[in-house]
Amino acid sequence: MTTAVRSTPSLDDEPTEPTEAVASAPPPRTRRPSPRVLAAALVAVLAAAVIGFLAVQLQHSRADVYRLEAAQTTQAQVLERARELAVALTTYDYRDLGAQQRQLAQGSTDAFQQKFAETNKTLGPMFTQLEASAKGTVVDAAVQQVRGDLATALVFVDQEASSKQSAKPTTQASRLRLHLVRHGDTWLLDSVDLL
């Protein structure tokens, strides 16, 4: 037969609370936000997202406008320079053929200046002998393309020429394709095609 041994609590033992009492206590209440608060929070988040999206779109639009304005400015510079150079190419006076060469030297590449000087060696004496002079007037011009530091422009020029061989001046229409190269903040003539 077994006998049950009873233990008596000692003073060192801490009293324990019954576990049933903890389990039977109601859970703490959590407060849920009202539907109005949830709706307001949702509207605020959506508004912030829309504003963020619009801000990004605005930045992209500003960048596009800047690129477009820069391209238009470049084309205007090319067009103005092409007009000036076309007049310089088609205007000369036998009394000072060097003036044309000096003017073109300021607005052209070294390679073009060299070719032009060689051409002038041949044509210069002939212009002097004929007492030839001409004045170019730009009728129309357009930028054909701009790619980085290279540009092409089409220029229509009326050239009024006179010489001792003709009693009155004659006008000749010319179409020129000018190839330009950006050098710093200006455009230089690199080559010309007569069309």
Q: What domains, with CATH codes, occur in the chain?
A: 89-194 (3.10.450.230)
| Number of Cβ atoms within 10 Å of the Cβ of 69 | 10
pLDDT of residue 58: 80
pLDDT of residue 17: 56
pLDDT > 90: what percent of the chain?
54
Burial of 65 (0-12, 13-18, 19+ CB in 10 A): exposed
Q: Confirm whether pTM is higher than 0.85.
A: no
What is the residue type of 63?
A
The overall average pLDDT reported for the chain is 86
pLDDT of residue 62: 80
| Separation of alpha carbons 37 and 88, rounded Å | 76
- Helix then strand then coil, % of the chain, to nearest 5: 50, 30, 25
pLDDT of residue 11: 53
Q: Which residues of the chain have pLDDT under 70?
A: 1-28
